[in-house]
Every structure is written in structure tokens, then in C-alpha cells.
Amino acid sequence: MGAMAARKILIVEDDEAIRRGLADALRFGGYEPLEAGTFQDAMKSAVRSPCDLMLLDLVLPGGDGLTVLAEARMARPTLPVIIVTSRGQEEERVAGLKLGADDYVVKPYSVKEILARVEAVLRRSAERPLELESISFPGGAADFRRLELRFDDGQREELSERESELLRYLAQNAGRAISRDELLARVWRLPSNAVRTRTIDMHVARLREKLRDSLEVPRVILTVRGKGYMLAASAQ
């Protein structure tokens, strides 16, 4: 477990006995647990704590776990989050996944399951490249914070959040062909059978239009036959 020893896991859970039990289990698994027992602590820790993953209970005294998740996503878009919910909280679970949670665990859970989920999410998140704030492309630049394209002729074009995420993911992997399944998993955060691949093709077509990229001979977002899409290495 050498490489995992320093991984810090923030446990957001108001029940002290459960929190301590989780902390012991994580410590035993080679992680370093950090704890937050109230909404206020969770809000501070989610933004400032030097953690590698957050285990987030959605029911907290003083506030809502979904608010903590939204705040964490704003401040640290790449922080992996596993939601902990009780049975019957399906709406919250769905809302959490839509806000960008990586996984969820339903109470009552086993310690073995928690450790397996933590390990799997950390392994997946290690593949995530660092967040990009902007890229340039032939004829202009994309600003992912402002969700807009700025062209050399002074014109601007707004991007939707999804278009921005899609372009950013392609930019993080410039020069590599990315399959539609990978885009669904990483950008849409959905299993590959959840949405028809036509959805991705339509988003790419719209993005090309906004980038003033030729649909016949694209120079920015390239189609790699049989594989998917790739951002040209000249756009970085």
C-alpha cells in the first residue's frame, strides 16, 4: 500500500460512531482520514482541506450535503466525491450524480464495500488531467472560466457548460483519439448505454460551428474513423 499511504480521505458524516468507524477502516486500509461532523465544517473542509477524496453523507445538521457538493465542485472541480445515502433517497442520489459525484454508497454498507469504492474512484480520478482554464486554436482562444470563445477579429461566442466541458476534455487529451464511450463517461458522466452516441456527434457538430471549424475538413476537432474525436495538436 506504499503509494496509497498518503492519500487523505475527508469523511463528512454527522454520526460520530459511524464517522469514527469509517476513519478506523480507512486508516486500516492505508489512508489518512480527515473528519467533518457538521454542515459548517464540511463547507470549510470541502474547499480548503488537502484531501484526495470526499466521502459525503447527504443528511447533515445545519445544511444539505448537496450544497457541500456544489461548493466543492466550484472550488475543486477534480476532487473525487463518493456520496453516502440512506435507502429511499433516490432523488438526492440522482441529484448528487448530476452535480458531479463520482459514485454513491447506500446505507447500511460494509467497510469492505467502502474501501473498494474509494480505491476504484481514486484509481479512475488518477487518470484525470489537471483542469485547464483556456486554450488557443487557429483564429482564437477558448476561456473555460467565462464559457466563451474569443476570436482574433474581436468577435465572441458563448459556450454552453456541456460544450465547454467537452472542448476542455478534448484539450486535456489533445493529440489522442477519444471514443464516444469515454466522452460519455468523462464528460456526461453516464454509462455508455445511457445516451445514443448521436448526442455526442450533435454536440461536436455544434462546437465545430462555434469554433468556425470547417465541417468538411475540420482543423480543430478531428474525426478519427472507427475511434472517435481528437483535438488537433495545433490547438493547445
Q: Residue 112: phi, psi to the nearest 5?
A: -60, -40
Please report, for residues 56, 152, 201, 230, the alpha-carbon distance to residue 72 in angstroms, rounded to integers and kept in the order given: 11, 35, 30, 30
pLDDT value for 130: 52
Query: In this structure, are residues 78 and 35 in contact, taking their beta carbons and an 8 Å threshold?
Result: no
Query: For residue 206, what is its C-alpha cell?
Result: 455544434
- Show me where the domains of the chain are located: 2-125, 134-231
From the first residue on, what is the mean pLDDT of each consecutive set of 10 residues in the chain (236 residues)?
62 92 91 92 85 89 88 78 78 76 84 89 67 85 90 93 89 85 79 69 93 89 91 74
Query: In this structure, are residues 59 and 93 in contact, taking their beta carbons and an 8 Å threshold?
Result: no
Span 90-127, pLDDT tens digits: 777 777 777 778 888 888 888 888 899 898 888 876 65
**SS3 of residue 133 by DSSP:** coil
Neighbours of 33 (CB within 10 A): 19
**pTM score of the predicted model:** 0.55
Please report, for residues 18, 99, 213, 218, the alpha-carbon distance to residue 232 in angstroms, rounded to integers and kept in the order given: 49, 30, 11, 9
DSSP H helices, 34-183, are 39-48, 65-75, 90-98, 111-125, 161-172, 180-183
Classify 134-231 by CATH class.
Answer: mainly alpha
Query: In this structure, are residues 88 and 140 in contact, taking their beta carbons and an 8 Å threshold?
Result: no
Classify 2-125 by CATH class.
Answer: alpha beta
